[in-house]
């Protein structure tokens, strides 16, 4: 079952360009700190200044693609104190590297990561993908010896149902839902003060056409680019899960 789940999600990644962008960005972040102890020391020092307990960015390569990417994504999005978190620390350090590194490759990579992390649509999609992966991770735990076949079938059906629902609305209490709530709160506060809405995630100002996230949960009112990526991911995930587990589903 875990092997089939892995194959299904690899197919989903090939179908969806934005998942590939998430994978590439997480890999660039890992590469920056894995091969440079100096950069890792600077990131931790910056985290201490911000009051963030910085974790070592997780790698995304390995024999099990899904757990690696899920862990790396959760690490990047983890919250901290005073609206700061791992995301803030990495973004600020990339800004520093982009302007100070004498190595052209490192500086160029840092600029690319910083630009990607400042894209509101991309950040919102990362939150959505974290919600999808959380359901997939729970299903992967059904590989225990004491699990019997009916439990596996029930778990798969629940996974398909919860994934399909995410096409229309965020997972209740999930990452994307929390982001929406935070954006709505920011919008209310700024409107009360007579300011133009300026949306942020962990103090990082976000750019792009994603502001409708702060207005409604209905899928038709989401930013088109984000909604298209969500719909494509949900449909591809459901399609490939059904294809890989057709024997369990009796189809």
142 pLDDT exceeds 70? no
99-103, 214-218, 225-229: range with lowest mean pLDDT: 214-218
Q: 143: pLDDT confidence band, cut at 50, 70 and 90?
A: low
Phi, psi of 81 (to 5 degrees): -95, 150
In whole angstroms, what is the distance from residue 79 CA to residue 232 CA?
Answer: 28
Mean pLDDT value of segment 130-146: 76
- Position 193 scores a pLDDT of 84
1 pLDDT exceeds 80? no
Mean pLDDT value of segment 102-125: 92
Tokens of 40: 């890792």
Q: Are 13 and 232 in contact (CB under 8 A)?
A: no
Mean pLDDT value of segment 201-214: 79
Q: How far is CA 211 from CA 20, 77, 179, 223, in A?
A: 24, 19, 12, 7
- Position 218 scores a pLDDT of 45
Q: 152: pLDDT confidence band, cut at 50, 70 and 90?
A: confident
- Position 124 scores a pLDDT of 92
43 pLDDT exceeds 70? yes
Q: With H, G, I as helix, E, B as strand and everything else as coil, classify residue 119.
A: strand
In whole angstroms, what is the distance from residue 118 CA to residue 100 CA?
Answer: 19
45 pLDDT exceeds 50? yes
- Position 219 scores a pLDDT of 45
pLDDT, tens only, 82-111 = 788 999 999 999 999 999 888 899 999 999
In whole angstroms, what is the distance from residue 120 CA to residue 197 CA?
Answer: 13
Which H/E stretch holds residue 148?
none
- Position 88 scores a pLDDT of 93
Q: Are 131 and 174 in contact (CB under 8 A)?
A: yes
Tokens of 7: 């194959």
């Amino acid at each position: 079952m875990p092997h089939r789940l892995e194959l299904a999600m690899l197919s989903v990644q090939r179908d969806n360009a934005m998942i590939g962008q998430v994978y590439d960005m997480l890999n660039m972040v890992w590469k920056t700190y894995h091969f440079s102890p100096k950069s890792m020391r600077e990131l931790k020092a910056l985290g201490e200044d911000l009051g963030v307990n910085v974790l070592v960015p997780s790698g995304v390569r390995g024999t099990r693609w899904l757990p690696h990417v899920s862990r790396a994504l959760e690490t990047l999005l983890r919250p901290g104190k005073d609206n700061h978190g791992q995301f803030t620390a990495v973004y600020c350090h990339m800004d520093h590297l982009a302007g100070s590194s004498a190595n052209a490759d490192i500086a160029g990579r840092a600029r690319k990561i910083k630009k990607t992390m400042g894209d509101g649509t991309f950040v919102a999609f990362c939150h959505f993908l974290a919600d999808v992966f959380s359901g997939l991770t729970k299903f992967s735990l059904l590989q225990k010896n004491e699990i019997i076949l009916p439990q596996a079938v029930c778990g798969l059906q629940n996974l398909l149902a919860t994934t399909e629902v995410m096409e229309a609305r965020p997972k209740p209490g999930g990452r994307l839902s929390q982001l929406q709530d935070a954006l709505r709160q920011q919008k209310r506060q700024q409107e009360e003060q007579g300011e133009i809405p300026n949306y942020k995630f962990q103090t990082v100002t976000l750019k792009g056409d994603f502001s409708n996230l702060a207005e409604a949960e209905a899928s038709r009112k989401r930013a088109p680019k984000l909604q298209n990526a969500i719909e494509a991911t949900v449909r591809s995930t459901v399609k490939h899960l059904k294809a890989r587990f057709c024997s369990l589903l009796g189809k």
